[in-house]
């Protein structure tokens, strides 16, 4: 964990994912795929199973999808729109809490991701993670005496948080309205779609 990550030891802490939380990642990736002769069909909540060549009945090989994913992360961030209301909600929350962005973006995309966050008014301390996020969340939460909350769209990251840092309040959100019906949910993690509603839920939980 970066030693210089700015966390106030006495304030509440809000830890947020980027893709499909702060960013409409799939919309941006969809545009990138179209520019490169592929198409996204939103049939599952599984990114690489939704990438097709036009007219194909079988999705691309996962290895090909991952190569496109890595290339997109290296230079396609300008295609990604921000999630509606995200910047405004974080600005309000940051008045009372520390905010940290926890993302599983590839390491080579860290600078590009940081520039994207700054460009869209969300220049908060950022940590690049690899794998399940629970251990990183536990380490971040240990740096404050205040309560903490974690927001992600992926259940296994929320499950990992519950295991490694059970005192951290967890919220699932899915920014892209088209993906919401496809995303699995769990009674263990409140699902709150839309940043105005999510901001209110976080405030009620930890502020």
**130: number of Cβ within 10 Å:** 10
Instruction: Say if residue 96 is in the same domain as residue 166.
Output: yes
36 domain residue, yes or no: yes
pLDDT, tens digit only, all 207 positions of the chain: 565 688 999 999 999 999 999 999 999 999 999 999 999 999 999 999 999 999 999 999 999 999 999 999 988 999 999 999 999 999 999 999 999 999 999 888 899 999 999 999 999 999 999 999 999 999 999 999 999 999 999 999 999 999 999 999 999 999 999 999 999 999 999 999 999 999 999 999 999
Instruction: Say if residue 94 is in the same domain as residue 144.
Output: yes
Instruction: Say if residue 95 is in the same domain as residue 193.
Output: yes
Residue-level pLDDT at 149? 98
1 domain residue, yes or no: no
Instruction: Say if residue 126 is in the same domain as residue 156.
Output: yes
Instruction: Say if residue 129 is in the same domain as residue 195.
Output: yes
Last residue in a domain, options 35, 54, 79: 79
Residues of the domain holding 118: 13-24+81-206
Instruction: Identify the bridge partners of residue 126 per DSSP, sorted by sequence position.
Output: 101
Instruction: Say if residue 70 is in the same domain as residue 153.
Output: no
Could you tell me how far CA 14 lies from the centroid of its own chain?
A: 13
184 domain residue, yes or no: yes
Instruction: Say if residue 197 is in the same domain as residue 107.
Output: yes
Residue-level pLDDT at 5? 85
Instruction: Say if residue 97 is in the same domain as residue 179.
Output: yes
**Strands (E) located in the chain:** 13-16, 39-40, 51-52, 98-103, 126-128, 148-152, 169-172
Residue 58's nearest CA partner among 47, 66, 50 is 50
171 domain residue, yes or no: yes
Residue 102's nearest CA partner among 43, 166, 148, 54 is 148
7 domain residue, yes or no: no
Residue-level pLDDT at 75? 87
Query: Which residues, in sequence order, are CB contacts of 93 under 8 Å at separation 6+?
Result: 14, 99, 199, 202, 203, 207
Instruction: Say if residue 86 is in the same domain as residue 149.
Output: yes
Q: How many domains does the chain have?
A: 2
Instruction: Say if residue 75 is in the same domain as residue 105.
Output: no
Instruction: Say if residue 108 is in the same domain as residue 147.
Output: yes
2 domain residue, yes or no: no
């Amino acid at each position: 964990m970066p030693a210089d990550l700015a966390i106030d030891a006495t304030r509440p802490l809000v830890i947020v994912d980027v893709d499909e939380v702060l960013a409409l990642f799939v919309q941006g990736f969809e545009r990138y795929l179209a520019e490169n002769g592929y198409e996204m069909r939103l049939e599952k909540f599984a990114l690489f199973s939704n990438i097709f060549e036009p007219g194909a009945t079988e999705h691309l090989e996962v290895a090909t999808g991952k190569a496109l994913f890595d290339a997109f992360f290296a230079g396609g961030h300008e295609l990604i729109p921000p999630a509606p209301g995200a910047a405004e909600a974080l600005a309000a929350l940051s008045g009372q809490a520390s905010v940290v962005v926890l993302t599983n973006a590839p390491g080579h995309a860290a600078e590009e991701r940081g520039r994207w966050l700054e460009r869209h008014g969300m220049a908060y301390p950022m940590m690049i993670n690899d794998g399940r996020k629970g251990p990183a969340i536990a380490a971040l939460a240990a740096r404050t005496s205040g309560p903490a909350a974690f927001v992600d769209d992926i259940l296994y990251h929320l499950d990992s948080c519950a295991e490694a840092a059970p005192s951290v309040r967890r919220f699932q959100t899915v920014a892209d309205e088209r993906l919401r019906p496809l995303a699995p949910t769990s009674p263990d993690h409140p699902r709150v779609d839309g940043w105005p509603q999510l901001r209110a839920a976080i405030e009620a939980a930890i502020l």
